[in-house]
Structure 1
Amino acid sequence: MSLKINMKTLKFLTGLLFAVSAANAQTNLITNIGDRKTLSLNGAWQYIVDPYETGFYDYRYKELNEKNGDAYWNTDVPENKTAKKEHGYIDKYTLQVPGDWNHQDPKFEYYEGTVWYKKSFDYKKANAADRVFLYFGAVNYKSDVYLNGKKLGAHKGGFTPFNFEVPEGLLKEAGNFLVVKVDNKRYADEVPTLNTDWWNYGGITRDVKLVEVPKTFIQDFVIQLTKPVNGQAPSKQPGVSGWVKLSDAPAAGEIVTVSIPELKFKKQFTAVGAQVPVQFKLPKVRLWSTENPKLYNVIVSTSTDKTQDKIGFRTIEAAGKQVLLNGKPIFMRGISIHGEIANEIRRAYSHEDALQLLNQARELGCNMVRLAHYPHDEKMTRMADSLGILVWSEIPVYWTIDFGNKEVLAKAKVQLNEMITRDHNRASVVIWSVGNETPISPTRTDFMHNLITEAKRLDQTRMISAALEVNYSALKSSNVVDDPLGEFVDLVAFNEYLGWYGGLPDKCRTTNWSTIYNKPLFISETGAGAKGGFHADSLTRFSEEFQEWYYKEQISMLKRMPDNFVGISPWVLTDFRSPKRNNPLYQEGWNRKGLYDDKGNKKKAFYILQSYYNEIKNKQTSVSK
């Protein structure tokens, strides 16, 4: 009997197997990397640009095997002068890691394809019995990882972390040869899909580290306040629940200890399996809030391992028409942010980058940021923890991905899992978002509902939402948000650009908003484009005066919002790069909706929104007194 499989079927089966294997691989994700014993592999990496993927496929377009000397993951040093080597890594061609390749050399500005990265390093284990993992903060988009000619694994997803264990005996004390094939090409069946409104920065964009851990180690843990009931504020001795995940089944009688020295708290739990439930009361704890972002050093230890993290304790929930932080209503004075440093035209990745972006938001008067449209670097969420800024974190399920494709759903779930796993101890993160501006259809709603269900399975302590969109062609004086997805989210959030994409800003004077759902209502985007420094009358598109007028009319409209209106995150903090924006005078490859321009200058609209936020803050302060 012969079996015939066409190319379309083969592609589907291959992709499905990849999605399943990737989903399984992420059960091994190690968290709290900053507290582990690590060796940074950041810095200069040699590279080869390979648009035809010659280093991966032979001339019949079949994947090269590990023994093939022409494969770019194998050594580039010929055995002798007669040996043929048609690839090589030299210092003439280097890229900095972390960092996108687009900003590092003009030839990469629009490049989408394969680049091979190579790093040589020495490494001696601190303990011969320890295990070693290779950890990546993020690589955009698909990565294949090889160490000393051996493939460790592959990963898809440009904004979430992953790691692979290094097999015993593969590491050498000197001359290790690490190669990563990075491919940032866009495809219709990926997450995100072909069409986005941001720059497709390629490369190893976040930290790379070797992580050394004991044979049985603390892989992950969750220590959070128990989910509130019916809007109740935390008691004086709030309950804490969570778990500690060990890498392997523990030895009989293994004890897991959780301690918080500042509170003189210590409690032990007997490990029966690899995942150990923890539950206790926490006396005299100071709750984390936007005004007082208190963090405690939480230590988790076993007989073989110990890790610690800075954690804030707070509750967050959507209760009726309000969002409650520690049982009290809060209005989210937000701004949307892209993970980009506009003045250097590159991906954000460092502590300094996080501080720059979040300080700009704070100067605007924000107590919240929407990190769009993908998980940002972990340094952003940790910095938000320390500064007291609420965070909306989102996976790039964006516009028109293939909602009917089970393989795509599996890929989205992997990214959702990786986002939540990395940041589930961050007090600042209060909303997990499963997507942005997805077109309404039964297939799409099923897809998104599936992601919401998965998010709630992974984390029951935070709100789940998605940025919905409205139809401007049908706008009337009274507009109702009735997207069927609203039934499943905790926070009904929608993007509206009334006055930019629908009429002129004065349309706001006769427009009101509501929703059919008895839930908090949040405007996840609104904004207008303006070229920084271009001044004209308020009717002239792309002038700072038009954007200023837009915000004035929006704010007047916002003051008429119903009593379930709980916040807004306008679009966007800073101008950002986008190949979709091609007006030769005003855009030139930039989305100009920023309140800061690409040089870091404030536009006139900045001060309009800042004044509105200060007004809200002052009213809330007077009420609390």
Structure 2
Amino acid sequence: MVANNLMMRQEFPDPQFERKNWMNLNGSWDFSFDFGKSGETRRFFERKSWKQKINVPFCPESELSGVHYLDFMSSVWYHRCFSINADQLKEKVFIHFGAINYRAQIWVNGEKCGDHLGGYSSFSLDITTFVKAGENDIHIWAINEPRSGRQPCGKQSRTYASEGTAYSRVTGIWQTVWIEFVPEDYVKSVKFTPNISAQSVGIEVATVGTCSHLDCEIFYQGRLCGERVIDISGTTAVFEVSLDELHLWEVGHGRLYDVHLKLGQDEIYSYFGMREVSLSGERFLMNGRPIFQRLVLDQGYYPEGLYTAATEQELSRDIELSLACGFNGARLHQKAFEPRFLYHCDRLGYIVWAEQASWGLDYSSPAALEHFLPEWLEIMNRDINHPAIIGWCPLNETSPYRGRSPRPELTRFVYQITKQFDVTRPCIDVSGFVHTERTDVYDTHDYAADPQTFAKHYQKLDQRVLYDPQIAREINVCDLPVFVSEYGGIPWNVGSQGWGYGNQPESKELFIKLFRDLMVPLLNNPGIIGFCYTQLYDIEQEKNGLFTFSRQPKFDLQLIRQVCNQHAAYEESLEANKDE
């Protein structure tokens, strides 16, 4: 059982689109299983008496939820009351959901007011006409069927227990639920496009209502450095703001500009970073300069909360642990991370590749696009302003589904849509296994445990040829940048139930030696733009992290850092060519 007064995760969920007038609905909710998915027929949306409680925003599989039920739950129900007053009702009332896995249907005061498909994207509903002054009821029905082949579900296990590379499932609400009170004229969305050469930022604002004036102020460390007053015609304003001061967002330096938008009575607080990424042949550039990506695989799992960190400090802690190891970023793997985590990446200058939780989807079915693309577009739309995100990776290791091969046209179409949606970032079509003919970066997953074998895979990169172990043949990568986006996974403390890639070294000293011997060929190869080591911390049975699942270091971090911080030939060679 969960105490009625328990509330965790009280911070505002999305620092890039923040209003001051909001109400956090995290805490104790009524809860019920609905294994037969019959709750709607039984009119659970009118139910007043409940036997069980759950602590939102933690999924019922997690310890922090107070439920901790580990078997499959085809559907679950939530209920709670909330009160609003007459003054709040003078404005529009929106309810926001950070994420509900996978299909959600919402009732307010017994009336159905909306639904949503997608377990990783955020959504909101205008419930103004459904609420009243005083006490209100909200009911949520969440359906999660990770074995159906009809939903992207990432690393959630499709068997009873966690096994191999699949971990505990996450059903229902797993991010913050909150209410906002918004004027009739309001800002619907904002998009920032930095222009470093012009020392300005392009801004696109979507609005609702009849207000025709938008005020925009931009600050750097409290100093006003740009402002515009815009006359709005219609519901979209597109404009440029010149900046008095130019401070580049760079690796290790999260120099953020604060933004204040005012449309009538509506005020939005946001931020952006002056950062550009680009490709030039086999080069990957940030702000016109080559960067070597020293990344680590981060899967966003927590021992007590599973997908959900217990506190905001746990979110930033994982970034700080990675930085302590000498990594400068992460590949956010098989999960769309919450905006609050991305905020800390932005703040700390921590670069990331953003990915959708694509596993579990039947890629052979034409209906796969219907289940994948809308949610992926919602995720990109929500996260597009984060300077920390330097690339998109919609799909990962599209293996055959129950013996049926993936449809290559699906991969091509998802890649093309991603590129059209965001022209400012590169996109990897499919990370690992088979790329289509359309991709911006050639990445490979290479878990060869022998350093000599591993190094041979890349010894012909001066001829633009590599051996890809996933397809067991040499590939001409032409002028594409080459990124070793998964490797290592060296096991440590595996025990009888754990595993890693290859055999466990006999001592910590031999672990560090193998860690170095696998990394040095990548650092010394001028044809490689970066690596992603598997992985930052253990997850359940997978014991190949540099930290335990509870984030205790397994090794001397100074030794790990010394290896990671060695100079990269890629950066040195390109700087030398630039000087010539």
**What is the TM-score with the length of structure 1 in the denominator?**
0.77
Distance 1:146 1:324, change over 3 A: same
Q: Which of 435, 438, 448 is the equivalent residue of 1:498? A: 448
Which residue of structure 1 lines up, in the alignment, with residue 376 of structure 2?
Answer: 416
Contact kept in structure 2, 1:434 and 1:466, CA below 8 Å: yes
Q: Within the alignment, does 1:53 sit opposite 2:11 as a pair?
A: no
CA shift digits 1:430-482 (9 cap, x unpaired): 11111111249996332122112222222222222245324xxxxxxxxxxxx
1:199 to 161, 168, 176: 168
Contact between 1:438 and 1:444, CA under 8 Å: does it hold in 2? Answer: no
User: Contact 2:254–2:273 at 8 Å: present in 1 too?
Assistant: yes
Q: Name the SS of the counterpart of 1:348 in structure 2.
A: coil
Measured after TM superposition, the shift of residue 177 of structure 1 is 1.2
Q: 1:208 corresponds to which residue?
A: 177
Distance 1:611 1:31 in 2: 34
Are 1:612 and 2:570 counterparts?
A: no
Report the secondary structure of 1:611's partner residue. helix
Correspondence 1:118-517 to 2 at 5 A: 118-124=79-85, 126-168=87-129, 170-186=130-146, 187-192=148-153, 197-226=166-195, 234-235=196-197, 237-248=198-209, 250-251=210-211, 254-261=212-219, 262-342=223-303, 347-348=308-309, 350-398=311-359, 401-439=361-399, 444-470=407-433, 483-485=434-436, 487-499=437-449, 504-512=450-458, 514=466, 515-517=476-478
Quick check: 1:505–1:549 contact (8 Å CA) kept in 2? no
Q: Which SS does the other structure have where 1:616 is aligned?
A: coil
Moved more, 40-49 or 409-418: 409-418
Q: Tell me which moved more, 388-397 or 267-276.
A: 267-276
Q: 1:437 to 1:544 in 2, by over 3 A?
A: farther
Distance 1:221 1:540 in 2: 47
Contact 1:522 1:565 in 2 (8 A): yes
Where 1:101 maps in the other structure, the secondary structure is: coil
* 1:541 lines up with 2:510 in the alignment: no
Quick one: which amino acid aligns to residue 446 of structure 2? E
Amino acid paired to 1:403: Y
Change (3 A) 1:112 1:541: farther
Distance 1:597 1:543 in 2: 17
Q: Distance in 2 between matches of 1:551 and 1:342?
A: 26
Q: Structure 1 residues 308 and 384, CA, compared in 2 at 3 Å: closer, same or farther?
A: same
Contact kept, 8 Å, 1:46 with 1:94, in 2: the verdict is: yes
How far the C-alpha of 1:312 sits from its partner, in A, is 1.4
Match of 2:521 in 1: 557
The match for 2:486 is: 525
* 1:97 paired residue number: 56
Give the CA deviation at 1:281.
3.2
Q: Does 1:73 align with 2:73?
A: no
Which secondary structure does the structure 1 equivalent of 2:46 belong to? Answer: coil
1:35 to partner: Cα distance: 2.6
> Do 2:292 and 2:570's aligned partners in 1 also have CA atoms closer than 8 Å?
no
RMSD: 3.1
1:404: Cα distance to partner?
Answer: 4.3
- TM-aligned CA distance change 1:264 to 1:548, over 3 Å: closer
In 1, Cα distance between the equivalents of 2:123 and 2:20? 15
Equivalent position amino acid for 1:255 in 2 = H
Residue in 1 that maps onto 2:7: none
* Structure 1 CA distance for aligned equivalents of residues 76 and 505 of structure 2: 40
Alpha-carbon separation, structure 2, partners of 1:177 and 1:132: 14
Q: Per-residue deviation at 1:593?
A: 2.1
The verdict on how the C-alpha distance between 1:46 and 1:389 changes in structure 2, with shifts beyond 3 A counting, is same
Q: Give me the whole-angstrom Cα distance separating, in 2, the residues matched to 1:263 and 1:491.
A: 39
1:182 deviates by 1.8
Cα deviations by residue, 1:68-94 (Å, 9 ceiling, x for unpaired): xx3111133xxxxxxxxxxx314xx21
Q: Label 1:363 to 1:617 Cα distance change in 2 as closer, same or farther (>3 A).
A: farther
Distance 1:430 1:540 in 2: 31
Distance verdict in 2 for CA 1:268–1:456, change over 3 Å: farther
Q: Note closer, same or farther for the CA distance 1:42–1:162 as it changes in structure 2 (3 Å cut).
A: same
5+ residue gaps, structure 1? 1-29, 57-63, 65-69, 77-87, 227-233, 471-482, 578-589
Q: Deviations over 1:198-254 (max 9, x none)?
A: 32222311100011111121010112214xxxxxxx33x424223101134x35xx1
Rg larger in structure: 1
- CA shift in 2, pair 1:101/1:543, >3 Å: farther
Q: Distance in 2 between matches of 1:539 and 1:260?
A: 48
Measured after TM superposition, the shift of residue 388 of structure 1 is: 0.8
The CA deviation string for residues 14-51 of structure 1, in whole angstroms up to 9 with x for no partner, is xxxxxxxxxxxxxxxx9945335211100011111221
Matched with 1:593 is 544
CA contact (8 A) 1:548 1:605 kept: no
Q: Report the structure, 1 or 2, having the larger helix content.
A: 1
Does the Cα contact within 8 Å between 1:364 and 1:606 map onto a contact in 2? yes
Unaligned residue ranges in structure 2 (runs of 5+): 1-13, 159-164, 467-475
Q: Aligned in 2, Cα 1:314/1:559: closer, same or farther, shift over 3 Å?
A: closer
Distance 2:411 2:314 in 1: 32
Shift in alpha-carbon separation, 1:544–1:53, aligned structure 2, 3 A: farther
* CA contact 2:248–2:274 (8 Å) conserved in 1: yes
Equivalent residue letter for 1:603: K
Native 8 Å contact 2:78 2:141 kept in 1: yes
**Which structure: greater strand fraction?**
2
Distance 1:390 1:488 in 2: 24
Deviation of residue 606 (structure 1)? 6.2
Q: CA deviation at 1:128?
A: 3.8
Do the aligned partners of 1:551 and 1:608 also contact (CA within 8 Å) in 2? no
Look up the equivalent residue of 1:391 and give its one-letter code: V
Stretch of structure 1 that moved more, 446-455 or 434-443: 434-443
**8 Å Cα contact 1:122-1:174 kept in structure 2:** yes
The 3 A distance-change label for structure 1 pair 166 and 521 is same
Of 527, 530, 534, 1:571 maps to 534
- The 2-side partners of 1:540 and 1:311 are apart by 42
Contact 1:320 1:519 in 2 (8 A): yes
| Cα distance, 1:511–1:488 mapped onto 2, change above 3 Å | closer
What's the CA shift for 1:358?
Answer: 0.8
- Which region of structure 1 is more displaced relative to structure 2, 256-265 or 215-224? 256-265
* TM norm structure 2: 0.83
* 469 and 174 in structure 1: CA distance in 2 versus 1, 3 angstrom threshold: same
Corresponding position of 1:5:
none
1:142 CA drift (Å): 1.7
3-state DSSP of counterpart to 2:141: strand
Q: In 1, are the aligned partners of 2:523 and 2:567 still within 8 Å (CA)?
A: no
Q: 1:320 to 1:608 in 2, by over 3 A?
A: farther
Question: 1:136–1:344: structure 2 CA closer, same or farther, 3 Å change rule?
Answer: closer
Cα deviation for residue 328 of structure 1 reads: 0.9
Letter in 2 for 1:469: G
Q: CA deviation at 1:549?
A: 5.5
Aligned to 2:3: none
Report how far residue 316 of structure 1 moved.
1.1
Matching residue's letter, 1:372:
H
Deviation at 1:493, TM superposition (A): 2.0
Q: Is the 8 A contact 1:437 1:495 kept in 2?
A: no
